[in-house]
Amino acid sequence: MTDQPDTPCGEAMLLHALLDRELDAANTLRYEAHVAGCPSCSAELTRMRAMRERLAAGDVAWQAPEGLRTRILDALAQEERRAAPRHRASWARGSIPWLRSLTADRRSLPAGLALAASLAFAVILTRPDPGGDLTTQLVAGHVRSLLANHLTDVQTSDQHTVKPWFTGKIDFSPPVIDLTDRGFPLLGGRLDYIEGKVVAALIYRRNKHVINLFVWPSDGHPPRSLSQDGYTLLGWRQAGLAYWAVSDLNAVELREFMEDFADRAPR
């Protein structure tokens, strides 16, 4: 006989909303705390995640026609462009500072690490420029991954597992670099949506700080350093790919991450 109840408690009705990221930030945090302390809900959520992973497997998933995927992405891109001014106003009213307070863990660290000459920044900004919509989208993607319990789609430190996971999901192959020996262990990867396209997101950690590295094919973005609402963003181009690292990690160590990744990535 077990002490654990066979069925979830009365709060179980929100498990699907939590799994589908349909709750707002406050209720997400409240319900995650409930699940952590409720064995029956925790077990049910584990079963639901296992079922979702099983349904997403290649042997049971039905692949939509490429034309349908293209039409959906085009429709999403149009909606994003229409909604962009409203989104910027919403974030400007203080959403990101409030979310940042849930994850910030500041420490003072020694400065003095120099950027590699081949990756010298062309522009240094402290506030969003006319292309700031990209900055807002990158920060929003980073924050969503922390608050909605959706940091990774594939959770593993094995680069040889993460890289093939992207095959067939996006039309390019992002380099997945193991930086554990440099103090930036790989946590996994996921898909995200930036500037009207599906992009790869590689997840690394430095102590308690998460680094989202967004990657997509591009020759259009100049290398730059940005900051918005307490988050640092470092962007660079390499081998036909645009890279954007986003984190609340201090700028010195984030640049160290950029240099270490760029040094080992294909050129």
Q: How many angstroms separate the CA atoms of 209 and 200, rounded? A: 19
Q: Specify which residues 232 forms β-bridges with.
A: 227, 247
Q: Do 28 and 126 belong together in one domain?
A: no
Q: At what angle do helices 25-37 and 132-147 cross, to 10 degrees?
A: 20
Q: How many angstroms separate the CA atoms of 224 and 89, rounded? A: 24
Beta strands 186-194 and 197-206: pairing type?
A: antiparallel
Q: pTM for this structure?
A: 0.52
Q: Is-contact 38 11, C-beta < 8 A?
A: yes
Euclidean distance between the first and the last CA atom of the chain, given in angstroms as a whole number: 60
What secondary structure letter does DSSP report for 171? S
In this prediction, residue 235 carries a pLDDT of 92
Q: Is-contact 133 92, C-beta < 8 A?
A: no
**Does residue 156 sit within a domain?**
yes
Q: Do 51 and 160 belong together in one domain?
A: no
**Does residue 165 sit within a domain?**
yes
Q: Do 51 and 77 belong together in one domain?
A: no
- Residue 184 belongs to what domain range? 66-264
Q: Do 165 and 41 belong together in one domain?
A: no
Q: Do 139 and 176 belong together in one domain?
A: yes
Q: Which two tokens stand for residue 200?
A: 């790869």
| 208 to 43, 159, 185, 250: CA distances (angstroms) | 27, 21, 11, 12
**Does residue 40 sit within a domain?**
yes
Q: Do 78 and 121 belong together in one domain?
A: yes
> How many separate domains does the chain show?
2
Q: Do 98 and 182 belong together in one domain?
A: yes
Helices of type H across the chain: 15-19, 25-37, 39-56, 66-90, 96-103, 132-147, 159-165, 251-264
Q: How many angstroms separate the CA atoms of 267 and 265, rounded? A: 6
**Does residue 126 sit within a domain?**
yes
**Does residue 198 sit within a domain?**
yes
**Does residue 2 sit within a domain?**
no
Q: What is the residue-level pLDDT of the chain in tens, covering all 267 positions? A: 444 445 557 666 777 777 777 777 777 788 788 888 888 888 888 888 888 777 766 565 566 676 776 777 777 777 766 665 554 444 444 444 444 444 444 344 344 333 333 333 333 333 334 345 888 899 988 888 887 566 777 777 678 788 888 888 889 999 999 999 999 999 999 999 888 889 999 999 999 899 999 999 987 766 678 888 889 999 999 999 999 999 999 999 999 999 999 999 998
Q: Which two tokens stand for residue 195?
A: 């500037």
Among candidate residues 78, 225, 227, the one with its CA nearest the CA of residue 142: 227
**Does residue 5 sit within a domain?**
no
User: What residue type is 146 in one-letter code?
Assistant: L
